[in-house]
Structure 1
């Protein structure tokens, strides 16, 4: 079993005994005992980065008004930052569907303008008229280009309350997981090196959530 654990950790060393148990198809307590015996531990996340820049055009928090029984689809989005080996800053934006946990779009660049968000929206093949697009109140999400594109795609725009990151907790958790599993795992000398690692992890994550 220890070999299987180490093999899965080659893909993602943030996996704990509960997730590993599902992947290996055995009991979580058994996996936990083996990890403790061989000194294998999941890497834990560091303190998250909080971004400034509030939108002048905001939207109501539609997600907060939903009931647990609601079948309305929700896509969460956020912008985050990672550092390469030379300390250059790379910004990422993603779209994540709540029900399936599927990553619908993911983009990276050295800037964090509105077109970082719109490039994700344009790349998506997701079609669900009336679905909610939820984000924080970042100015990139309040930009006219973003709002118009979401309207064209049939989304209802929703934003967290100001200064309330828990309103976008689903996206916040994804950012923390991505940073821990990819950005903080090793030092990346180039953007291309980082993008290949991100793509590999995303493909692994899609396999994990679909299994």
Structure 2
């Protein structure tokens, strides 16, 4: 709970709920509340501080001070250390803690690693990576299959389902636009090495590449995306037992946010779609 928000909430609820009731409801001690009311900085933000506050709240505290500084510098000229001090002063620091994922599937066939950790791509739809991740946040187990274009880290195809079978990943594959001379990299999961999947790969003229056994860093880009998705939604908002529809909607909304809004340092602090359009 942000101090200024809680203090304003208590004021607005005067005569409706007691301070004690509100403190219990939001798990804030009365001592903390009274300490906040005596803070001289509450309600007296500078224009720069207000700009930092707006961005931190807008992105739900998913950004660290470097990204916030990059966005602020589109309007102000300010050192990133100044932004860091402001965020520390008001406790607006990034609240995302990356969670490790559990590896999905068991390999039974070795395919050459043609990507070989060459994650940079100078053209769209030339180097793609794919993976499956668990979504254990609802009332039943769900899975996400996604494909990322390494040109701009855009998620260009994804499927959410309750079975991680071959049909599940083929559905994602079928969403890809027609392309030539394309490399698709995955792990050695059985769904990717299956006859049906490999047959689909061949029919689309795609070249397959696979990570070495027990080496998730060979597919680190898509692994990182899945970790960010979970950390910046379910873990951040403490969503643990949601209806299936909420889990699905949360994932869809995040992918839209990731593609269209969420800036990346390697893209010059642009979102994937902004970068693609600017380079077209």
TM-score w.r.t. structure 2 length? 0.67
2:165 is equivalent to residue 113 of structure 1: yes
Distance 1:135 1:8 in 2: 34
SS of 1:77's equivalent in the other structure is strand
SS of 2:205's equivalent in the other structure is coil
- In the TM superposition, residue 35 of structure 1 has moved relative to its aligned partner by 0.9
Structure with bigger gyration radius: 2
SS of 2:144's equivalent in the other structure is strand
Match of 1:82 in 2: 135
Gaps of 5+ in 1: none
2:257 is equivalent to residue 204 of structure 1: yes
Aligned residues: 207
- Bigger Cα displacement from structure 2, 100-109 vs 38-47: 38-47
Distance change in 2, residues 1:159/1:37 (3 Å) = same
Match of 1:9 among 53, 59, 62: 59
- In the TM superposition, residue 85 of structure 1 has moved relative to its aligned partner by 4.4
- In the TM superposition, residue 9 of structure 1 has moved relative to its aligned partner by 2.4
> What RMSD over aligned residues (CA atoms) do the two structures have, in Å?
2.4
- In the TM superposition, residue 66 of structure 1 has moved relative to its aligned partner by 5.3
Match of 1:150 among 201, 219, 241: 201
Match of 2:12 in 1: none
For the 8 Å contact 1:182–1:197, the answer to whether it is kept is yes
Match of 2:232 in 1: 181
Match of 1:132 in 2: 183
Distance 1:163 1:172 in 2: 14
SS of 2:129's equivalent in the other structure is strand
2:67 is equivalent to residue 19 of structure 1: yes
TM-score w.r.t. structure 1 length? 0.86
Distance change in 2, residues 1:65/1:172 (3 Å) = closer
SS of 1:59's equivalent in the other structure is coil
- In the TM superposition, residue 46 of structure 1 has moved relative to its aligned partner by 4.2
